[in-house]
Amino acid sequence: MAQQLSLPPTIGWVYDLILRTFALAVGLFFREVQVRGAWHVPSDGAVILVAAPHSNQFVDSIVLMRILRSLNRRISWLMAEKSFQRKFVGTMASMIGAVPVSRAMDIAKSAPGTIYLEDPEANPNVLHGIGTDFTSETFKAGGSIYLPIINGDSQKLDIGQILGPDRLVLKNSNLHPDALFQLTGAHTGALASSFTGTKFKVAPHVDQTEVYNAVFERLAADGCIGIFPEGGSHDRTQLLPLKAGIAIMALGALSRDTKVTIVPVGLTYFTAHKFRSRAVIEFGESIPVSESRIDAFKNGKKRDAVGGLMNDISQALAAVTVSAPDFETLNLVHAARRLYLTNTPHGEEKKRISLARSTELNRRLVKGYTTYSQTPEMKSLIKDIKSYMASLKALNLKDHQLLSTSSHHKHFPMLFRLPTLLYRLLKLGILAVLTLPGLILFAPIFILTTRLSCRKTAEALAASSVKIRGHDVMASWKILIALALAPIFYTFYTILLVVLNNYNHVWEYIPARTPTSLIISTCILVLPMITYAALLFGEQGMDLLKSIYPLVLTLSPTSSHIINRLIEQRRVLVVRVREMIDRFGSEIFPDCDDVSKWRDRGPRKLYADISPEAEQEDLWGLDEFV
């Protein structure tokens, strides 16, 4: 029976209090967050935000909530019911009006026996079992079967009809190659002679009617609903297959004469799991829904209507996300972007562009790579870029560090590099002293946060069929654990100081008549400030520390010779990457027809869609948030 759901009115001050608390923590975690295209979100009326990729678990929701609140809108997220079962997360989610959604994958259970395809060529949708009982209550038409994880995925099979205790019919006969291999024991498309079947899990059909009704209720009240259509968080370089629920919600509301605006949102993180990383949030143009599609949904042609809208949503998300076939391709694209943005072939670095523009360039380079990756010219360029990247890795250098090294080689003789090195070491020592108090006091928090988040990441990775390294949950757990531990340690240090004051006035460092209330209030004020100072000075110190190693290399005659060759290799690659973009860019993007005229800032109108308001407006309140 469907769960009876209701969306109570959001209590504004509770929503804002929870948001401010988490937004502060997220703001400390990220060094920089840029927002692009926020004007696409209407200031009133019903809105559905379709966000992807879902690559940073709870952080994704908080980031978008903060942006929407700056636009004077509150959002209700659809969230996996499994997350609601965690006491802390579930309580917070309920208080901000999130809607629990039961997912079949979360309630799937191991079933007895094994399954196989007896005749995959003639009857590819007839599933046979050994030691199974498909007539039991566990198996129902409309339910799902999940195969063991292979190549990072658990293939899903939808049950169409039960024929007996050891036979059932699948809804779809067009199975994934991995599923065919698991169900036949061979890659040939025929059943292997010694194959005895594969283990599996089964999940019942989940009726989401009440979830849809709750969403329709909120949209009818001009509310804002948010959904991650991939169905769960992951750390892949490509979007997961989108769930059709988003199209059903949109068409269902529109068929009830509720005017709904569907806005795609792309989330791009730069090393999302690492502290002080960066992010770009991009809102795309709203997705139009034709009257004919709404009429088709009303008149029973739901499959066609939903399929058409899902195709539109997929295209809209592709326009605001960076999706690469694999991590190797993504690394190549990032390397090509850095080479392309070098101002001249002689190696001087171009003025840093915004994260939003960098994301747009990544998106275009991925498209260019996937289009021309099999051409001889592209294959040769890819081989040489990989060689360059391997050389950098052998020297333990980054591309930007090589540019810095190149600058020192060109502008400063060896005699003048030594004072620069000594100056930076002195500055690093000062920053280390400034960071030390916070580091000593809160080292337990840093250590526990790292260890516990790694443990949670391992648990999430073991329980998931779509995660690769589990990085999508790491940032969320780091923030949640730090939020829980910080008040505990602040309280501990405050109590310790009060006890020491009562014992010997902290070895006579505190005046004898200092009231306890003053000590407590001072701790409440000073301890967070020490934490923030440690983060601030530590960040600057780490940036400075990373610049020391390349400078040291320039002082070594042996390393200097290797670096000179690498710098020359880079200069050649800069020219080749630019020539490749000049050659193929206009074939994909019409606005690249006059690249030479716009050489110093990339293809013509490359960033024409970036709003000046988005670049200048402080939608995040960045002066206080980041």
Q: 313: pLDDT confidence band, cut at 50, 70 and 90?
A: very high
- Please give the C-alpha separations between residue 130 and each of 143, 472, 547, in angstroms, as whole numbers: 19, 38, 63
Supply the pLDDT for residue 112. 92
Q: Examine the pLDDT at 620 and tell me if it is beyond 50.
A: no
Listed ranges 100-104, 161-165, 551-555; the one with the highest mean pLDDT: 161-165
Q: What three-state secondary structure class fits 239?
A: coil
Are residue 283 and residue 144 in the same domain, yes or no? no
Residue in the block written with tokens 């949950």: 473
pLDDT mean over 607-625: 36
pLDDT tens sequence across 506-518: 788 888 888 889 9
CATH number at residue 21: 3.40.1130.10
Are residue 220 and residue 94 in the same domain, yes or no? yes
The set of residues, in sequence order, having a beta carbon less than 8 Å from that of 625 and lying 6+ positions away, is: 23, 24, 27, 33, 66
Q: Domain boundary at 540, 555, 570, which?
A: 555
Residue 1 forms part of a structural domain: no
- Please give the C-alpha separations between residue 190 and each of 77, 120, 149, 184, 196, in angstroms, as whole numbers: 45, 6, 21, 6, 14
Are residue 391 and residue 289 in the same domain, yes or no? no
For 582-594, give the secondary structure using H, E and C: HHHHHHHCHHHCC
Q: What three-state secondary structure class fits 275?
A: coil
pLDDT tens sequence across 74-126: 999 888 888 777 777 777 887 888 888 887 777 888 999 999 998 888 888 89
Are residue 421 and residue 515 in the same domain, yes or no? yes
> Which amino acid belongs to residue 443?
A
pLDDT tens sequence across 402-427: 776 655 555 445 555 677 788 888 98
Q: Examine the pLDDT at 2 and tell me if it is beyond 70.
A: no
pLDDT mean over 476-487: 86
Are residue 288 and residue 353 in the same domain, yes or no? no
Are residue 113 and residue 99 in the same domain, yes or no? no
Helical H segments across 509-556, by residue range: 516-554
> Which amino acid belongs to residue 72?
N
Supply the pLDDT for residue 414. 56
Are residue 373 and residue 261 in the same domain, yes or no? no
Q: State how far Cα 290 lies from the chain centre.
A: 31
Residue 3 forms part of a structural domain: no
Supply the pLDDT for residue 293. 93
Q: Are residues 363 and 322 in contact, defined by beta-carbon separation less than 8 angstroms?
A: yes
Number of helices (H) and strands (E) in the chain: give both, helices first: 20, 14
Is residue 186 classed exposed, middle or buried when 0-12, 13-18 and 19+ CB atoms within 10 A define those classes? middle
Are residue 421 and residue 563 in the same domain, yes or no? no
Helix (H) or strand (E) holding 212: helix 209-220
- Read off the pTM: 0.78
Residue 147 forms part of a structural domain: yes
The set of residues, in sequence order, having a beta carbon less than 8 Å from that of 563 and lying 6+ positions away, is: 395, 402, 405, 406, 409, 553, 554
pLDDT tens sequence across 186-240: 877 788 888 889 999 998 888 888 888 889 988 998 989 999 998 888 888 888 8
Supply the pLDDT for residue 512. 82
Supply the pLDDT for residue 615. 39
Residue 381 forms part of a structural domain: yes
pLDDT tens sequence across 343-391: 644 444 445 667 777 788 888 888 888 888 888 989 999 999 999 998 8
Q: Domain boundary at 318, 335, 363, which?
A: 318
Q: How far apart are CA 499 and CA 505, in angstroms?
A: 9
> Cβ–Cβ contacts within 10 Å for residue 499, how many?
10
Q: Examine the pLDDT at 597 and tell me if it is beyond 50.
A: no
Residue 520 forms part of a structural domain: yes
Q: What three-state secondary structure class fits 264?
A: strand
| Structural domain of 112 | 106-203
Are residue 83 and residue 197 in the same domain, yes or no? no
Q: How far apart are CA 284 and CA 321, in angstroms?
A: 10
Residue 430 forms part of a structural domain: yes
For 9-58, give the secondary structure using H, E and C: CCCHHHHHHHHHHHHHHHHHHEEEEEEECHHHCCCCCEEEEEEECCCCHH
Q: Examine the pLDDT at 138 and tell me if it is beyond 80.
A: yes
Supply the pLDDT for residue 614. 34
Torsion on CA atoms 488, 493, 494, 495, rounded to nearest 10: 90
Q: Examine the pLDDT at 287 and tell me if it is beyond 90.
A: yes
Q: 433: pLDDT confidence band, cut at 50, 70 and 90?
A: confident
Report the number of distinct structural domains present in the chain: 4
What DSSP character marks residue 110? E
Q: 542 versus 575: which is more confidently predicted?
A: 575
Listed ranges 107-111, 184-188, 245-249, 461-465; the one with the highest mean pLDDT: 245-249
Supply the pLDDT for residue 596. 43
Q: How far apart are CA 152 and CA 90, in angstroms?
A: 28
Are residue 98 and residue 223 in the same domain, yes or no? yes
Q: How far apart are CA 533 and CA 541, in angstroms?
A: 12
Q: Examine the pLDDT at 252 and tell me if it is beyond 90.
A: yes
Helical H segments across 157-205, by residue range: 177-184
Are residue 549 and residue 574 in the same domain, yes or no? no
Q: How far apart are CA 348 and CA 407, in angstroms?
A: 8
Residue 7 forms part of a structural domain: no
Q: 574 versus 395: which is more confidently predicted?
A: 574
pLDDT mean over 300-309: 90
Long-range contacts of 38-41 (CB under 8 A, 24+ apart): 38/67, 38/70, 38/71, 38/283, 38/614, 38/617, 38/619, 39/283, 39/611, 39/613, 39/614, 40/263, 40/283, 40/284, 40/285, 40/286, 41/68, 41/71, 41/73, 41/263, 41/283
Are residue 310 and residue 230 in the same domain, yes or no? yes
Helix (H) or strand (E) holding 79: strand 76-80
Return the structure tokens found at 464. 């998931």
> Cβ–Cβ contacts within 10 Å for residue 360, how many?
24
Q: Which of 215-224, 251-260, 318-327 has the lowest mean pLDDT?
A: 318-327
